[in-house]
C-alpha cells in the first residue's frame, strides 16, 4: 500500500474521529504533569513498549535507524509517533516519509507550516503535538499574538491574511467537517490551489498523528512542561 492510499484511509478515519472532538472553554492555567498512568511504559511513555532493534524485521530496522539519522531529525525521538510506528513499520515507514516531505520539501513558509500544525493540534487538543511545536513555531517567526489566538481559540480577524486564512480554514475543516465556499476561495486567493492541497495534506497528516497519540496515550517527555491549556 503506497503513501497516497494510506493518507486517503487516514482522512476517511479522521472524518469520524473529529465529530467527537469537544469544543472547550479554555482556562489560562496550564496543568502540571503527574505520575505516569499504570498502563504507560516508562521507556516509551506510551501504552506500547519500545521494541528492541534486534527484535524488528528489516523494515522495522529501517524505521528504527531513520529515527537516529541526523539527516532526518525528529522532535520527539522514540518517545512519540516514531516509537509507535515501530509496532507497524509497514504503515509507519510511508507515513514518516510523508511527514518528512510535508515538513521539508513542500514550499510553505516555516512559520505558516508550524501554524497549520498548531491549528490542528489545538482542534484535537493534542498536548503532545502542541508542546512539541509551539517552541518551533516561535523560533520560525510566528507572531506570539497569533499563536495565543490559536491556543485560546480567540478570533483571528486582526491577523495577516495568510495566517488568518489558515486559521479559518483549519477551524472549519475540523470543527464542522466541511469548509465554506467563501473560506476555500480565500485560501485559493491567498495561496493558490496547489498550496491549498499541500496545507490540507499537512493538516491531515498531523490530525492522523493526533489520533495515534491519543489512542496510545502518549505522554510528554519527562520534565517537559505542558504548554496547551485545558479547563
**Residue scoring higher pLDDT (24 or 144):** 144
The answer, yes or no, to whether residue 71 has pLDDT greater than 50, is: yes
Global pTM value: 0.86
What span, in angstroms and rounded, lies between the C-alpha atoms of 17 and 94? 22
* Sequential DSSP letters for 101-154: HHHHTS---HHHHHHHHHHHHHHTT-HHHHHHHHHHHHHTT--HHHHHHHHTT-
Residue carrying C-alpha cell 513555531: 137
Evaluate whether 230 touches 27 at the Cβ level (below 8 Å). Answer: yes
pLDDT in tens, 164-215: 999 999 999 999 999 999 999 999 999 999 999 999 999 999 999 999 999 9
SS3 content of the chain, % helix, strand, coil (to 5): 60, 0, 40
Find out whether 214 and 128 touch, Cβ atoms under 8 Å.
no
The span from the CA of 21 to the CA of 121, in Å, is 12
Mean of pLDDT over the chain: 89
The per-residue pLDDT for range 76-125, each reduced to its tens digit, is: 999 999 999 999 999 999 999 999 999 999 999 999 999 999 999 999 99
pLDDT at res. 5: 54
Amino acid at each position: 500500500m503506497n503513501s497516497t492510499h494510506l493518507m486517503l484511509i487516514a482522512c476517511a478515519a479522521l472524518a469520524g474521529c473529529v465529530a467527537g472532538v469537544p469544543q472547550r472553554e479554555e482556562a489560562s492555567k496550564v496543568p502540571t504533569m503527574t505520575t505516569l498512568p499504570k498502563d504507560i511504559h516508562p521507556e516509551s511513555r506510551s501504552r506500547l513498549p519500545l521494541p528492541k532493534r534486534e527484535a524488528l524485521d528489516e523494515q522495522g530496522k529501517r524505521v528504527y535507524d531513520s529515527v537516529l539519522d541526523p539527516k532526518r531529525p525528529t522532535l520527539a525521538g522514540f518517545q512519540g509517533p516514531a516509537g509507535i510506528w515501530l509496532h507497524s513499520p509497514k504503515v509507519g515507514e510511508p507515513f514518516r516519509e510523508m511527514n518528512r516531505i510535508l515538513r521539508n520539501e513542500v514550499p510553505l513558509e516555516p512559520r505558516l507550516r508550524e501554524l497549520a500544525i498548531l491549528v490542528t493540534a489545538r482542534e484535537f487538543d493534542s498536548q503532545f503535538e502542541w508542546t512539541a511545536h509551539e517552541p518551533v513555531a516561535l523560533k520560525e517567526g510566528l507572531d506570539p499574538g497569533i499563536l495565543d489566538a490559536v491556543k485560546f481559540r480567540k478570533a483571528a480577524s486582526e491577523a495577516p491574511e495568510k495566517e488568518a486564512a489558515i486559521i479559518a480554514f483549519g477551524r472549519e475543516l475540523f470543527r464542522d467537517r466541511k469548509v465554506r465556499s467563501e473560506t476555500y476561495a480565500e485560501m485559493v486567493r491567498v495561496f493558490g490551489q496547489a498550496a491549498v492541497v499541500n496545507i490540507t495534506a499537512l493538516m491531515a497528516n498531523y490530525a492522523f498523528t493526533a489520533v495515534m497519540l491519543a489512542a496510545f496515550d502518549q505522554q510528554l517527555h519527562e520534565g517537559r512542561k505542558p504548554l496547551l491549556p485545558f479547563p
